[in-house]
Amino acid sequence: MTANSRCSVAEPPGLETQRREIESLLRESELQTGDSWYVVDRRWFDQWKEFVESGDQNSSSFPGQIDNTELFEDLDSYHMKERLAENEDFVLVPAEAWHKLLLWYGMVDGQPALERKVVDLPSTLKVEVYPVEVFLCLHSNMENIITAQFSRTDSIHTIQAAVCQAFSVPPGSECRLWMKSSDSSCERLRNVHMSVLDSCLSSGMTVIMEMRNADGTWPSSRPQIMRNSVEDQDSYRGQPGVCGLTNLGNTCFMNSALQCLSNTPPLTEYFLQSSYLEELNFTNPLGMKGEIAEAYADVIKQMWSGRHYSVVPRVFKTKVGHFASQFLGYQQHDSQELLSFLLDGLHEDLNRVKNKEYIELRDADRRPDQEVAEEAWRNHRRRNDSVIVDTFHGLFKSTLVCPECNKVSVTFDPFCYLSVPLPVSKERVMEVFFVSLDPHAKPVQHRVVVPKAGKVSDLCVALSEMIDVLPKQMVVADVFNHRFYKIYNPEESLSCILDRDDIFVYELSVQDEDAVLLALYLRERSQYRDYGSGSSSYGTTLFGHPLLLRVPRGSCSREELYQLFLQRLVRYVRPPDPSEELEEEEEDDDEEELYKSQTNGFSDDEKEVEEAAGPAAPQPCCSHAPNNQSDAAAPTEAEPDASCAQSSLDQGDATVSNGSINPTGPACGAAAANTSTAPDDTSTCGDAGVAAGSEPPAEPAPPSCGATEGNEEDKQEEACSLSPPPNQLPVKRRACRRRRRSLFTIQAVNSNGTTERGMGEGGSAVSFSSQPYVAIDWDQDMKKRFYNENEAERYVKHSSMEVPQQQTTVQLQECIELFTTRETLEEENPWYCPVCKKHQLATKKLDLWSLPEVLIIHLKRFSYTKFTREKLDTIVDFPLRDLDFSSFLLRKSVSDEEPPSRYDLIAVSNHYGGLRDGHYTSYAQNKDSAQWYYFDDSKVTYASEEQIVTNAAYVLFYHRQDKIRKPTLPAPNDGSASSHFANDITSCKDQEAGQGASYITMETD
Ligand SMILES: [Zn+2]
């Protein structure tokens, strides 16, 4: 068995072939129950796509090994992070595509493949990215808990078998299972043939198994416990409707929507009076056979019974999941989406129209609005007649005008809620880290305001106003996993940068015609030898923060780079003290070897290097004037153009410099062109230069500071540099050298920070086609001694971080105006003009025609465009009373019978947090007492009117004043006397729950 047999990376086919093969697999693979799909980090996959699309085997977008690091909570458990989103955080690839990618690229060591099965869920096939993770324990010892994962399609029996096995339950024992949610309520899992999904078992719950006692009793049904729970339920007589809803695992979006609907008087009264029973529509193919309506009615009746502090809406949740697969499982959803689904589901389940007739829509044809609107409403009611329509449906007019033939199309459409846009700020606040040229300065976190549609250069300009650095001396980069995910061109759009990206802005030395933009990574060597990868002789792991520095082309010798890096890292890399034992014995015949190798530039096998006369510890050369000098100013000054160092690296230089993507450096472009016509140069360099993956660099030459002072030594070196062979080190130094180990070695790498590259059809040596990347590789012991991890991670906050972010406030009326503002249709959504007979980007105008009894207004806080996804934190100032729509209504009141258009607020669904995570709650006014409450899952607290308008408000419920009835009960408290804790009406529940909490709702058989 040879070392190579471990090699897992096969020779991949050409890039075009790769792209075609994978793309067709992605396109053609269909979900089939039981099939395996694989989760792949989206960034890695994007990079791979970029790579194969580049068509260049040597492209810097080479993605390296498949790396799912970012998907894991940590690298010990390899537990996948929660709430990752498909196509945002990861992509799913079918098994065949995965195996190909794995064969071609391999996988970062130690990472498990994220294989997931396709499961057959009600109404959908789905890759089960997140299996249900539950805790298992025995009733007799609830301290001993294990974690286990099950598919939603597994049966409860599978779980029972798992418990029996895990806890070595004797075979033949008579068992029963309970599931306990986080709020400690327990429910019996009676039917072991039921699926995990149908049993409403979800992640985070505990499955408890008990075994029948010898006397025939069950441990869980001791009488005193059960009596307790019955008494508890009997004794509570709370305010009807003031009832929490238990969170069943990220179901706050559902609870929030339910509380708003529960506090919508006409709808709740309809259910409490059981009017729904006569109207259940079991035959409507668009409905859910009455099941949603019945499940909803059950929840409402429990909430308004006054018997519960909190209700567990488990059956309701399962029904919703059955009919709308997007609400299945464990992921966070949108309360407005659920609301929309629910109103639709309730409507169809309760539709009084049993047979929908087909109605042909007539064009408005310049008939008066009144006539067309009445016809549209009549037609709508002929097909749709339910409590939902009665309560929530209104009518708006939509006018489309063709830009070419001026055809005007008018339609009147019913709506169930208004989705109103928020004025989108043209500016954007970004948080970035500024990395100064001063090697002693810590990175500084800044908050800058930039135009949303701006370019990367606008970010530099904005930052420049805070610090004394010119925009052209900045480079902006996205740092991800200790490497550069992207180095931005100043012309690129800021929309490429997401708020959650870690953006670093690097100060560069003043533009030097002959400079190279060098990306520097830090890597730690692992101890084993990595045979699988071919060219590299050790495995490496990236760590710390990468750096970008502009290096004069004349200073790219390994030795100079070593010095330069030491200097640049001086804040957290301690230069070795001369007394420290880094020296190693010199071997006799080594001198000749070294001499030979050096004529080529970097020596290939230069483990130890001579130490020059002069101070051994390198001094930072530019620390006295860090801000306006080149990072490498001193070395440049020290070496005239024809210096030995430069010529020693002539070829290496050409390679390093040819790739600089620095867009403002014309020299780089020229160099690149130059190199591309001279492939020989590149490959030569690949053999001998940085790119060859050689071992340690030379130990520091005499510090260049000395050189700038023009001392004797310097002159000697200069003199030497002019004599052939140019790259030999001065004889004097060779004579007195002694060997030293350097702190780290320098290695050319790809943009991913890996040394080895997939050898494609080109098979050529490494070259930098766009951007030079080098890594400095540390042995573990050297890193421990000289690299100060704590210091490396330090940063400071600029005062801009302390300025509270300005809250913009808009009036709700402005949002409604925006809703009715004429707009031009977007390219993706054109209108088919019946006159032109083609799709046109028509102008569109919406107007409100008639409004419902209960008006739902959805504030479009989640803004998704092609390029940006954001949540708008704007405060929308909405009135609690007297929201007057008369000025927005197109229909002018023709008689006194017209309903008024004034509304009072009755409920608000709130969303806290960002785009993907967050929490939903609601404010709602009790219909009987007119008291406001704050509903936060199972907790309910009193609320005062002043609390209600916040930037979390997401969906607003307004009730038309003519329909509002006087409260039948006095308000339970007068707002002035209330304090936070006194108001917590659930506190008594919490105390009670403290006594034997887990048994309270365990039911008897
Ligand atoms: Zn037209």
Question: 767: closest CA among 695, 697, 690, 696?
Answer: 690
Q: How confident is the model at residue 972 (pLDDT cuts 50, 70, 90)?
A: low
**From CA 291, how far away is CA 280, in angstroms rounded?**
9
* Strand residues in 70-229 grouped as ranges (E): 90-94, 115-121, 124-127, 132-138, 141-150, 175-180, 186-189, 206-211
Write down the pLDDT at residue 868: 62
Count Cβ atoms below 10 Å from residue 90 Cβ, excluding itself. Answer: 24
Question: 433: closest CA among 803, 806, 800, 797?
Answer: 797
Q: How confident is the model at residue 81 (pLDDT cuts 50, 70, 90)?
A: confident
Please report which helix (H) or strand (E) contains residue 233, including its range: helix 223-235
Q: Cα(841) to centroid of ligand 1, in Å?
A: 10
**276 & 376 share domain:** yes
Rounded to two decimals, the pTM is: 0.55
**81 & 38 share domain:** yes
Pair type for strands 902-912 and 953-960: antiparallel
**184 & 92 share domain:** no
Report residue 573 as tokens.
């890399």
Range of the domain at 36: 15-118
**From CA 231, how far away is CA 791, in angstroms rounded?**
61
pLDDT > 50? residue 740: yes
DSSP string, 887-903: TTBSSPP-STTSPP-EE
Of 99, 139, 380, 919, catalytic? 919
Query: pLDDT for 42-73, tens place per residue?
Result: 989 999 998 898 888 877 788 889 999 889 88
Q: Cα(81) to centroid of ligand 1, in Å?
A: 51
Q: What angle is formed at CA 397 by the lines to CA 395 and CA 400, rounded to 5 degrees?
A: 150
Q: Cα(404) to centroid of ligand 1, in Å?
A: 5
**779 & 887 share domain:** no
Q: Tell me how far CA of residue 948 lies from CA of 163, 319, 938, 943, in angstroms.
A: 47, 31, 19, 8
Q: Cα(838) to centroid of ligand 1, in Å?
A: 7
833 φ, ψ (degrees, to nearest 5): -85, 120
Pairwise pLDDT comparison (248 vs 401), residue with the higher score: 401
Q: How confident is the model at residue 216 (pLDDT cuts 50, 70, 90)?
A: confident
Overall size of the chain counted in residues: 1005
Q: Cα(412) to centroid of ligand 1, in Å?
A: 20
Judge whether 969 lies within some domain: no
Of 186, 243, 252, 668, catalytic? 252
Q: Cα(399) to centroid of ligand 1, in Å?
A: 14
Q: How confident is the model at residue 767 (pLDDT cuts 50, 70, 90)?
A: very low
Q: How confident is the model at residue 14 (pLDDT cuts 50, 70, 90)?
A: confident
Q: Are 460 and 505 in contact (CB under 8 A)?
A: yes
The burial class, CB within 10 Å (0-12 / 13-18 / 19+), for 222 is exposed
| Mean pLDDT lowest among 140-154, 204-218, 622-636 | 622-636
Judge whether 245 lies within some domain: no
Q: Cα(633) to centroid of ligand 1, in Å?
A: 66
Q: Cα(373) to centroid of ligand 1, in Å?
A: 24
Query: pLDDT for 119-151, tens place per residue?
Result: 887 667 788 888 888 999 998 888 888 889 898
Active site residue 644: no
**From CA 768, how far away is CA 557, in angstroms rounded?**
16
pLDDT > 80? residue 93: yes
As a whole number, mean pLDDT of residues 382-411 equals 94
Q: Cα(824) to centroid of ligand 1, in Å?
A: 14
Please report which helix (H) or strand (E) contains residue 300, including its range: helix 291-303
Q: Cα(601) to centroid of ligand 1, in Å?
A: 71
Q: Which CATH number do you get for residue 40?
A: 3.30.2230.10
**480 & 384 share domain:** no
Q: Cα(402) to centroid of ligand 1, in Å?
A: 5
pLDDT > 60? residue 212: yes
Pair type for strands 854-860 and 831-833: unpaired
277 φ, ψ (degrees, to nearest 5): -60, -35
Q: How confident is the model at residue 179 (pLDDT cuts 50, 70, 90)?
A: confident
**From CA 704, how far away is CA 719, in angstroms rounded?**
16
Q: Are 1002 and 186 in contact (CB under 8 A)?
A: yes
**From CA 728, how far away is CA 132, in angstroms rounded?**
67
- Could you tell me which residues come within 8 angstroms of residue 732 by beta carbon, excluding any fewer than 6 positions away? 613, 716
Q: What angle is formed at CA 918 by the lines to CA 915 and CA 922, rounded to 5 degrees?
A: 120
Query: pLDDT for 810-824, tens place per residue?
Result: 999 999 999 999 999
Structural domain ending residue among the three candidates 154, 179, 211: 211
**111 & 176 share domain:** no
Instruction: Name the packing angle between helices 42-54 and 15-28 (round to 10°).
Output: 130
DSSP summary character for residue 781: H
319 φ, ψ (degrees, to nearest 5): -65, -45
Q: Cα(446) to centroid of ligand 1, in Å?
A: 51
Q: Cα(313) to centroid of ligand 1, in Å?
A: 52
Judge whether 635 lies within some domain: no
**388 & 521 share domain:** no
Q: Which CATH number do you get for residue 305?
A: 3.90.70.10
Q: Cα(826) to centroid of ligand 1, in Å?
A: 16
Strands of 115-121's sheet, edge to edge? 90-94, 36-41, 115-121, 124-127
DSSP string, 236-256: ----TT--EE---SS-HHHHH
989 CB-side CA count, 13 A: 21
Q: What is the CA radius of gyration of the chain?
A: 35
Q: Cα(842) to centroid of ligand 1, in Å?
A: 8
Active site residue 919: yes
Write down the pLDDT at residue 838: 92
Q: Are 29 and 94 in contact (CB under 8 A)?
A: yes
Q: How confident is the model at residue 666 (pLDDT cuts 50, 70, 90)?
A: very low
**400 & 281 share domain:** yes
**From CA 281, how far away is CA 773, in angstroms rounded?**
67
Q: Cα(195) to centroid of ligand 1, in Å?
A: 55
Judge whether 830 lies within some domain: yes
Q: Cα(364) to centroid of ligand 1, in Å?
A: 16
**340 & 313 share domain:** yes
Q: How confident is the model at residue 10 (pLDDT cuts 50, 70, 90)?
A: low
pLDDT > 90? residue 520: yes
As a whole number, mean pLDDT of residues 638-663 equals 36
Write down the pLDDT at residue 123: 64
pLDDT > 80? residue 544: yes
Report residue 602 as tokens.
């970097």
Which spans in 29-67 are helix H?
42-54
The burial class, CB within 10 Å (0-12 / 13-18 / 19+), for 873 is middle
Judge whether 706 lies within some domain: no
pLDDT > 50? residue 208: yes
Pairwise pLDDT comparison (626 vs 127), residue with the higher score: 127
Count Cβ atoms below 10 Å from residue 794 Cβ, excluding itself. Answer: 11
**405 & 495 share domain:** no
3-state secondary structure of 494: helix
Q: Cα(825) to centroid of ligand 1, in Å?
A: 14
Q: Cα(368) to centroid of ligand 1, in Å?
A: 22
**103 & 160 share domain:** no
Judge whether 399 lies within some domain: yes
Question: 577: closest CA among 788, 791, 786?
Answer: 786
- Could you tell me which residues come within 8 angstroms of residue 674 by beta carbon, excluding any fewer than 6 positions away? 654, 658
Judge whether 925 lies within some domain: yes
Q: Cα(828) to centroid of ligand 1, in Å?
A: 18
Pair type for strands 36-41 and 124-127: unpaired
Q: Tell me how far CA of residue 99 lies from CA of 23, 164, 562, 985, in angstroms.
A: 14, 36, 41, 57
**52 & 67 share domain:** yes
Q: Cα(408) to centroid of ligand 1, in Å?
A: 9
Q: Enumerate the β-bridge partners of residue 120.
A: 125
| Residue pointed to by tokens 């990347």 | 773
Q: How confident is the model at residue 894 (pLDDT cuts 50, 70, 90)?
A: low
- Could you tell me which residues come within 8 angstroms of residue 946 by beta carbon, excluding any fewer than 6 positions away? none
- Could you tell me which residues come within 8 angstroms of residue 702 by beta carbon, excluding any fewer than 6 positions away? 612, 613, 614, 615, 713, 714, 717
Structural domain ending residue among the three candidates 88, 118, 148: 118
pLDDT > 60? residue 739: no
Judge whether 671 lies within some domain: no
Structural domain ending residue among the three candidates 188, 211, 234: 211
Q: Cα(830) to centroid of ligand 1, in Å?
A: 12
Pairwise pLDDT comparison (145 vs 578), residue with the higher score: 145
Instruction: Name the packing angle between helices 314-323 and 291-303 (round to 10°).
Output: 160
Report residue 209 as tokens.
């198994």
Q: How confident is the model at residue 224 (pLDDT cuts 50, 70, 90)?
A: very low
The dihedral sign for the CA sequence 505, 507, 512, 514: negative
Q: Cα(837) to centroid of ligand 1, in Å?
A: 7
As a whole number, mean pLDDT of residues 202-215 equals 84
Q: Which CATH number do you get for residue 492?
A: 3.10.20.90
Query: pLDDT for 680-736, tens place per residue?
Result: 333 333 333 343 334 444 444 433 333 333 344 433 433 333 333 444 444 444 444
Q: Rounded mean pLDDT of the chain? A: 76
3-state secondary structure of 264: coil
Report residue 443 as tokens.
């990175």
Total tally of structural domains belonging to the chain: 4
Pair type for strands 843-850 and 823-824: antiparallel
Q: Cα(844) to centroid of ligand 1, in Å?
A: 13
What dihedral do alpha carbons 631, 634, 638, 639 form, nearest 10°?
0
3-state secondary structure of 435: strand
**From CA 821, how far away is CA 846, in angstroms rounded?**
7
495 CB-side CA count, 13 A: 12
Q: Are 960 and 899 in contact (CB under 8 A)?
A: yes
Pairwise pLDDT comparison (225 vs 206), residue with the higher score: 206
Pairwise pLDDT comparison (496 vs 833), residue with the higher score: 833
Q: Enumerate the β-bridge partners of residue 506.
A: 435, 475
Q: Which amino acid is at 55?
A: G
